[in-house]
Structure 1
Amino acid sequence: MKHLIALVLFLTANLCFSQNKTEIYVIGNIHDSVPNYNPQILSAILEKIKPDIIMHEVDSEGMKEYETMSDVKGNEITASNIYTKKHPVTVRLPFDFEGRNQYRKDKGMVPTDNLTVQLIDSLYKTKSLTTEETKIYESFLNSTQELMKTAALSPEKFNNKTTDKLSEKRQDSQYHELLKITEKRQEFAARFVTKPNGEKISYREGFKLMSGFWDLRNQTMASNIAKTADKNPGKKIVVLTGFLHRYYLIKLLNKMNNNKFVIKEFYDL
């Protein structure tokens, strides 16, 4: 009898514990309003989840702008405003790398990142890349095109494991495979931009820094989300991020999980 009572108490405790786990919904977004994904669609998703906390892909300054500026646009903040107007007790928090935009400019990652890809594209179109370099760049182009097609579908289509794998392939191609081109070719070492402090930085070095920052930024964002989850047991947290970040954040959150939170999909409710 004692063993039976102990078993019942154990199962009851486990049930209560599992019910008290924080729920995290990582929603991959298209930032700008399009017919297949707009603030009304996202606000309907938020209503379905009914989150206690909404986390935005901005830093603390960006969050202040979100909350105070009347002309801020974008799917995430517009939908968030619609939801919090109906549910004013909802907490909104930033989770991005602090000072992200200025940091990238100061280090010279911007605008070397875009200029580097533009140069690779120019070399590709003039057939100046080697066979191996061409394969690398075409793989990047093909995965980008496939993702663009997926992004034209319903939000469930760009919020699932299949698209997460494609996003990972595309981002790995951009931030790791393209380095094989920039590290070898002299064109990327011979072109420069000037940083805010007046120093020059080559396309090669700037793009390399940006590639490293992709990992650092996602690691920081995942850590901020995990800390928020740890501080808010039993709450529902919606993380609004660009859908290209989704795979990375979920992967890191699963590694950080201390069995206090569970990651769910909005369409499984």
Structure 2
Amino acid sequence: MKKLFFTLIILCLCLFSQSCNERKTNLVLLGTVHQPVENFNSDSLYNILKKIRPNLILFEVDSSFFTQDFKFKKTWESNENIATVRYMNDFNADVRPYDFTGRNEYRRKIGSRPTDTKTIKLIESLYQKHLLNSEEKSIYQDFLQITDTLNSFGYLGISNFNNEVTDSIARIRQYYQYKKLLEIVDNNKIFSSTFYNKEDGDSISYALGFRRAGEFWDLRNKTMAKHILHFTNEYKGKRIVVLNGYFHRHYLDSLLGPEQKKNNFIIRDLDEY
């Protein structure tokens, strides 16, 4: 009898906890791959959205992609765009932008783009010509291996790039890209003496542009997290899906996780649906 009583108590507590979670704003940080690949395409994403049934989809662009009543100004061949438009046509749901406003224009203005990619190409050139010292060579090889590993998850299906293991590898990859590669840049004068001419006529060294790229990565993710928090309060008690390239997922989770209690929302995993 006692065993039955305790079983009923535990069952009631579980149902109460589940009910409380449903009353809170539910947030799913859904990592994606932008273009169709093996095992993941717009149909895959649409079916996931159907399972979660969000009231709001947060889209990884800024407001310039939308009309004043939050309709897409255009459609394009990305998994997220095709799946979101299809979902909105089939279900009653809103979509909102949450990215850093004018991110690409801002990158070009501060000179972090295209000096970020040019810097990595120059590191690759030095590596191929055996002009990096042994420590720098090891850093770059590790960066390539980590990047290849992280990219490979994108071909294995959505559960493979929406989990803690992939998030931890993305975190390490970010550290290597913006901290360890910067060590190579700072140790070799060629990066501070090689310049790119910006659109405004000013020039910027690869070294400074690459440093600014790392700073912008932090700024962009913090801005996205701030915008997401805004929507957790605007859509209280609703289900929100945040579509994000899966390299961002770990960063957004680290910023939003500590805010759950104060803002009365809960981050839910994909496998809970």
TM-score above 0.5, yes or no: yes
Q: Which residue number corresponds to residue 73 of structure 2?
A: 68
Maintained 8 Å contact 2:65/2:73: no
Residues 16, 160 of structure 1: alpha-carbon distance in 2 compared, 3 angstrom cutoff: closer
Q: Which residue number corresponds to residue 176 of structure 2?
A: 173
Q: Which residue number corresponds to residue 115 of structure 1?
A: 118
| CA shift for structure 1 position 226 | 1.1
Q: Which residue number corresponds to residue 84 of structure 2?
A: 80
Q: Which residue number corresponds to residue 190 of structure 1?
A: 193
Q: 2:43 aligns with which of 29, 40, 44?
A: 40
Q: Which residue number corresponds to residue 30 of structure 1?
A: 33
Structure 1 residue 209 and structure 2 residue 212: aligned?
Answer: yes
Listed as ranges, the matches of 1:3-152 within 5 Å are 17-64=20-67, 67-70=72-75, 72-87=76-91, 89-152=92-155
Matched position secondary structure for 2:131: coil
Q: Which residue number corresponds to residue 4 of structure 1?
A: none
Cα distance in 2 between the residues matched to 1:203 and 1:248: 26
Q: 2:229 aligns with which of 219, 226, 230?
A: 226
What is the percentage of aligned positions where both structures have the same residue?
38
| CA shift for structure 1 position 17 | 4.8
Matched position secondary structure for 2:155: coil
Cα distance in 2 between the residues matched to 1:152 and 1:14: 36
Cα distance in 2 between the residues matched to 1:101 and 1:43: 27
Cα distance in 2 between the residues matched to 1:99 and 1:48: 32
Length-normalised TM-score, structure 1: 0.91
Runs of 4+ in 1 over 4 A off after TM superposition: 11-17
Equivalent position amino acid for 1:69 in 2: K
Q: 1:252 aligns with which of 237, 250, 255?
A: 255
Provide Cα deviations, 1:194-233, integer angstroms capped at 9, x if missing partner.
1221110000000000011111100110111011102211
Matched position secondary structure for 2:28: strand
**Structure 2: stretches of 5+ with no match in the other structure:** 1-12
C-alpha RMSD of the superposition = 1.8
Maintained 8 Å contact 1:56/1:241: yes
Matched position secondary structure for 1:234: coil
Matched position secondary structure for 1:110: coil
Cα distance in 2 between the residues matched to 1:246 and 1:149: 16
Equivalent position amino acid for 2:239 in 1: K
| CA shift for structure 1 position 34 | 1.3
Residues 15, 66 of structure 1: alpha-carbon distance in 2 compared, 3 angstrom cutoff: closer
| CA shift for structure 1 position 15 | 7.6
Equivalent position amino acid for 2:245 in 1: G
Cα distance in 2 between the residues matched to 1:105 and 1:212: 14
Maintained 8 Å contact 1:56/1:63: no
Cα distance in 1 between the residues matched to 2:150 and 2:19: 41
Provide Cα deviations, 1:152-183, integer angstroms capped at 9, x if missing partner.
10110110000000011011110111110111
| CA shift for structure 1 position 18 | 3.8
Equivalent position amino acid for 1:93 in 2: R
Q: Which residue number corresponds to residue 8 of structure 2?
A: none
Maintained 8 Å contact 2:57/2:96: yes
Residues 36, 17 of structure 1: alpha-carbon distance in 2 compared, 3 angstrom cutoff: closer
Provide Cα deviations, 1:64-112, integer angstroms capped at 9, x if missing partner.
4971214x1100011001100101x311011101110100001111110
| CA shift for structure 1 position 246 | 0.3
Length-normalised TM-score, structure 2: 0.90
